[in-house]
Chains A and B, each alone.
Chain A
Amino acid sequence: GQNIDQPTEMTATEGAIVQINCTYQTSGFNGLFWYQQHAGEAPTFLSYNVLDGLEEKGRFSSFLSRSKGYSYLLLKELQMKDSASYLCAAMDSNYQLIWGAGTKLIIKP
């Protein structure tokens, strides 16, 4: 079956760095997405990886290892506004997104 695993909740301190891990199992693979979702709002796109390696975009970076079925989202210089849920989603061979349950990130001052 198809499955996405990510931690339910994480806590970090303002100004620090946090890494949110995601493992996936899909029928075929056409890339891994990370979305940010604030409470009561729709998800917003953060990153897309289809090749192995690290993609850096400002304070956010995303890493992919296809052989390990593993990705992580790295957030640096954490700000209070980064408190949100972070959704990992893998695209299968039918170009359908398989969603993780999301990781709720709590930032403390």
Chain B
Amino acid sequence: GAVVSQHPSWVICKSGTSVKIECRSLDFQATTMFWYRQFPKQSLMLMATSNEGSKATYEQGVEKDKFLINHASLTLSTLTVTSAHPEDSSFYICSATSGESSYNEQFFGPGTRLTVL
């Protein structure tokens, strides 16, 4: 149980284009979803937290107009990187909590590797 999927697994795009990444909880309803970014040899950096049906809460320094997050249902959240540039190339990982775990364990998706040319 508690499986989170991400799509696509990897994407290569041209500078200036937009890329959408989907995060789905497959066998549970995710009350909260998190989006992280991870650069090589660095730890996870939380970008934003989203609850179903409400606006995402962005971390300091993360541009909300560049990284659009939509949490339309209890099983789906999307991250759209708008007007992507090479510096946006990174490993993007989503996670979700079900609200049923006694300690709010986060279940992670497999990640999406974005390369912007």
Are A99 and B43 in touch, CB under 8 angstroms?
yes
Are A31 and B103 in touch, CB under 8 angstroms?
yes
Are A43 and B104 in touch, CB under 8 angstroms?
no
Closest to B97 in A: A95
Are A30 and B103 in touch, CB under 8 angstroms?
yes
Q: Is A48 an interface residue (CB 8 A)?
A: yes
A residues near B, CB below 8 A?
30-31, 33, 35, 40-45, 48, 50, 87, 91, 95-97, 99-102
Are B104 and A91 in touch, CB under 8 angstroms?
yes
Are A42 and B105 in touch, CB under 8 angstroms?
no
* Chain B interface helix/strand/loop/mixed: loop
Are A97 and B106 in touch, CB under 8 angstroms?
yes
Q: Is B46 an interface residue (CB 8 A)?
A: yes
User: How many residues on chain B are close to A (CB under 8 Å)?
Assistant: 18
Distance from A64 Cβ to chain B, minimum over Cβ atoms (Å): 13
Once A41-B111, A42-B110 are accepted as A-B contacts, the answer to whether A48 and B44 lie under 8 Å apart by CB is no
Distance from A27 Cβ to chain B, minimum over Cβ atoms (Å): 15
For chain B residues 53-94, which have a beta carbon within 8 Å of chain A?
91, 93
Q: Which residues of B contact A45 (CB under 8 A)?
A: 105-107
Could you say which of B93, B103, B113 contacts A48, with CB atoms under 8 Å apart? B103
Q: Which residues of A contact B43 (CB under 8 A)?
A: 87, 99-102
* Chain A interface helix/strand/loop/mixed: loop
Could you say which of A96, A101, A102 contacts B46, with CB atoms under 8 Å apart? A96
Are A48 and B42 in touch, CB under 8 angstroms?
no
Once A42-B93, A48-B105, A50-B103 are accepted as A-B contacts, the answer to whether A97 and B46 lie under 8 Å apart by CB is yes
Could you say which of B42, B91, B109, B113 contacts A101, with CB atoms under 8 Å apart? B42
Interface centre among B43, B45, B104 (most CB of A within 10 A): B43
Q: Is B108 an interface residue (CB 8 A)?
A: yes
Alpha-carbon gap, A79 to B106, bound state (A): 26
Closest to A33 in B: B105
